A and B are shown apart, each in its own frame.
Chain A
Amino acid sequence: MPTSTRHLATAPSNADVSRYALRLGDDALISAQRMGEWIAAAPQLEEDVALGNIALDLLGQARALLTYAGQLEGAGRDEDDLAYLRDERQFLNAQIFELGNGDFGFTVARLLVTSTYQHALYAGLRHSADSTLAAIAAKAVKEVDYHRDHATQWTLRLGDGTAESHRRMQQGVDDVWPYISELFESDALTTALAASGVAVDPNSLEEQVLVYVEQVLTEATLTRPEATVRHTGGRSGIHTEQFGYVLAEMQHLARSHPGAKW
């Protein structure tokens, strides 16, 4: 009996891996949606192109992760069903990804944190016992490397720029900070999957992510805020007020014209 219990503890169920892939896929999908909103609204033409490209990478990662989540679920749902036909409470992205873009300083601060987090996550997930997740991560880590670099360059430029750019960059960092800790929360799902070598324990990423982000903030003459409030809930489907509007825009066409193709 103890032997089989141990065995069961190390053999992840398809449902668990599916849910894990869905979390990561939702992070990437919602992030892509937010980045895409900048196209034709960024401070420079090059930035429209850059954020559009970052959105495209994230969308590609989301497609692979959602497709895999759907396959493991075994209910016949594909990437489109999962992206377009779920309601708010069924999305498992961390809240940081769904927050409104705010001004460019906030978007840069958020991208610095999320790309650093995804970089650490995918670097670890390359060695996952799950070969599909490992393959997705091995591709994604190289793409996210460029995203992190882009956010780093902007943080330095704005933080160590004019008094106004410094003020707004610091404001962006302050506004994003209460949402960071959710990225590093472990729960029963991630603990079990990490034990079986499938997932990366979110808690194990906190130190390396914060070391990188703080190093960039220091070089950019910015101050690391104190986290007085820690928002959480996204991994269990609890979202911010702004999230419904993201879904309304993203899902409107697919729901109004079911099965539409072009």
Chain B
Amino acid sequence: MSQIAPPRPAALWQAVASVLDPEVPVLTIEDLGILRDLHLDESGHVEVVITPTYSGCPAMDAITADVVEALAAVGCHDVSVRLVLAPAWTTDWISEVGRRKLQTYGIAPPSHRGDGPVPVALSVRCPQCGSADTRELSRFGSTACKSLWSCRSCLEPFDHFKAL
């Protein structure tokens, strides 16, 4: 019987990093910056560390299940997923690739937050037509991480991933 080599951490990382966020299914959990770490110990146990976007993010259970499933697909069955709160997630952790994917998907990406006490109200570009002539309809949108905007140029409503 031939020995099956255990997958290397890089391959495991790739498997986990391709898990999609269930509420923004164009982004992977790596794009979003919520996949924080992966450890493989000598016994073959894999621990994946993730962090929620918002404290009440209802997608964490689904993401945990998807991570376990993604690792099972590459032959890892001894898996635990640990949720950490610190350091607190910020939209600054969304990768450049992630920002472009959001834009293409029709969600205006977040502005960089910086360290200021108050988020500066820069204009948000319409992801449909690119116009900067937009207005905020509601600070709270379809999920905890988005606000609802509308474009005065093309008159379409759109979601904005708000800076956190």
* Chain B interface, DSSP helix/strand/loop, else mixed: loop
| A8 → chain B closest CB, angstroms | 28
The interface residues of chain A lying within 8 Å CB-to-CB of B89 are 139
Asked if A143 and B140 sit within 8 Å, CB to CB, the answer is: no
With the chains together, A142 CA to B137 CA distance in Å? Answer: 21
Chain A's closest residue to B57 (CB) is A60
Known A46-B137, A49-B142, A50-B140; judge A57-B88 contact (CB<8 A).
Answer: no
B22, CB-defined interface residue at 8 Å: no
Asked if B139 and A139 sit within 8 Å, CB to CB, the answer is: no
- The stretch of B36-44, B48-56, B63-71, B95-103 that contacts the partner chain: B48-56
Known A60-B52, A61-B56, A64-B55; judge A139-B140 contact (CB<8 A).
Answer: no
Which of B85, B137, B143, B162 has a CB less than 8 Å from the CB of A139? B85
The interface residues of chain A lying within 8 Å CB-to-CB of B55 are 57, 60-61, 63-64, 136, 139-140, 143
Asked if B54 and A138 sit within 8 Å, CB to CB, the answer is: no
| A125 → chain B closest CB, angstroms | 12
Which of A50, A58, A150, A153 has a CB less than 8 Å from the CB of B56? A58
Asked if B139 and A59 sit within 8 Å, CB to CB, the answer is: no
Known A56-B144, A149-B139; judge A134-B86 contact (CB<8 A).
Answer: yes
The interface residues of chain B lying within 8 Å CB-to-CB of A131 are 86
The interface residues of chain A lying within 8 Å CB-to-CB of B90 are 142
B164, CB-defined interface residue at 8 Å: yes
Chain A's closest residue to B164 (CB) is A142
With the chains together, A140 CA to B56 CA distance in Å? Answer: 10
With the chains together, A56 CA to B58 CA distance in Å? Answer: 9
Asked if B85 and A46 sit within 8 Å, CB to CB, the answer is: no
Q: Which of A54, A60, A131 has most B Cβ within 10 Å?
A: A60
With the chains together, A229 CA to B78 CA distance in Å? Answer: 60
Asked if A135 and B88 sit within 8 Å, CB to CB, the answer is: yes
Known A46-B148, A59-B56; judge A138-B140 contact (CB<8 A).
Answer: no
Chain A's closest residue to B163 (CB) is A142
The interface residues of chain B lying within 8 Å CB-to-CB of A52 are 140
B106, CB-defined interface residue at 8 Å: no
Asked if A57 and B86 sit within 8 Å, CB to CB, the answer is: no
B131, CB-defined interface residue at 8 Å: no
Residues of chain A having any CB pair with chain B under 8 Å: 46-47, 49-50, 52-54, 56-61, 63-64, 131-132, 134-136, 138-140, 142-143, 146, 149-150, 153
Chosen A-B contacts, 12 in total, with CB atoms closer than 8 Å, are: A49-B142, A53-B141, A63-B56, A136-B55, A138-B88, A139-B52, A139-B55, A139-B88, A139-B89, A142-B90, A143-B164, A149-B139
Ranked 3 nearest A-B pairs via Cβ: A60-B56, A60-B55, A135-B86
